[in-house]
Chains A and B, each alone.
Chain A
Amino acid sequence: QKEVEQNSGPLSVPEGAIASLNCTYSDRGSQSFFWYRQYSGKSPELIMFIYSNGDKEDGRFTAQLNKASQYVSLLIRDSQPSDSATYLCAVTPGDGLTFGKGTHLIIQP
């Protein structure tokens, strides 16, 4: 059974610091990896995707992938109060996405 594991948090980070979010997955056939941000009462918003081992940077966000360890992470630099949300890790070996339960991130001003 495909599983995606995340620490549910809450993870509390001071404003301006680096927030580090982690995710592990069980299906070694997974090919694509995603991070979604979900504000309370809203639908998920895609913020990062990564396909290859290593780092991928986009603005203040960096996604890291290690397929050998079946591990994906998201770093948010210079954290802002507007980054406070639930971050969902998702993976896919096929058409649909398998989601983790999400990490609730709180940026403290």
Chain B
Amino acid sequence: SAVISQKPSRDICQRGTSLTIQCQVDSQVTMMFWYRQQPGQSLTLIATANQGSEATYESGFVIDKFPISRPNLTFSTLTVSNMSPEDSSIYLCSVEGTGVADTQYFGPGTRLTVL
């Protein structure tokens, strides 16, 4: 499977500010995904990011709050905008597996705390 890295690994931010999370993959992938895992909860898909097209957002997530960039086949960013304490979560990117349909592999995650 691909090697996935995320930056930053953790951050503490003030409410009202924005944070951009980076996701880097060591091989080219068509599809990348962003998930949120709130404390004690499971993962929720935020959006799907394909290179060369606008991200597709899930119900309850909007582009103004979570803008996503996908400039090439190995990189994506997720911005959490105008943060509130409710945005405190782990944010994970994932990439599609190669050769096995629908599989996804996850990066290490970014732990965000909003004060």
A contact set with B: CB distance below 8 Å? 31-32, 34, 42-46, 49, 51, 88, 90, 92, 95-102
17 pairs across A/B with beta carbons < 8 Å?
A34-B104, A43-B92, A43-B106, A43-B107, A44-B92, A45-B106, A46-B1, A46-B97, A49-B103, A90-B43, A95-B56, A97-B45, A98-B45, A99-B42, A99-B43, A101-B41, A101-B42
User: Given that A96-B33, A97-B43 are contacting pairs, would A46 and B105 also be in contact in the complex, using a CB cutoff of 8 Å?
Assistant: yes
- Given known contacts A99-B44, A100-B42, what 13 new A-B pairs fall within 8 Å (CB)? A43-B109, A45-B106, A46-B1, A46-B103, A51-B101, A95-B31, A95-B33, A96-B48, A97-B43, A97-B45, A99-B43, A101-B41, A102-B42
Instruction: Give the total number of A-B pairs whose CB atoms are below 8 A apart.
Output: 52
Chain B interface extent, by class: 20 to 34
Separation in Å of the B1 CB from the closest CB of chain A? 8
Which residues from chain A contact B102 at a C-beta distance below 8 Å? 31-32, 34, 49, 92, 97
Which residues from chain B contact A32 at a C-beta distance below 8 Å? 101-103
| Cα–Cα, bound, A14→B12 (Å) | 40
Q: Which of B61-95 touch A at CB < 8 Å? A: 92, 94
| Cα–Cα, bound, A97→B58 (Å) | 11
B contact set with A: CB distance below 8 Å? 1, 31, 33, 41-45, 48, 56, 58, 92, 94, 97, 100-109
Separation in Å of the B40 CB from the closest CB of chain A? 9
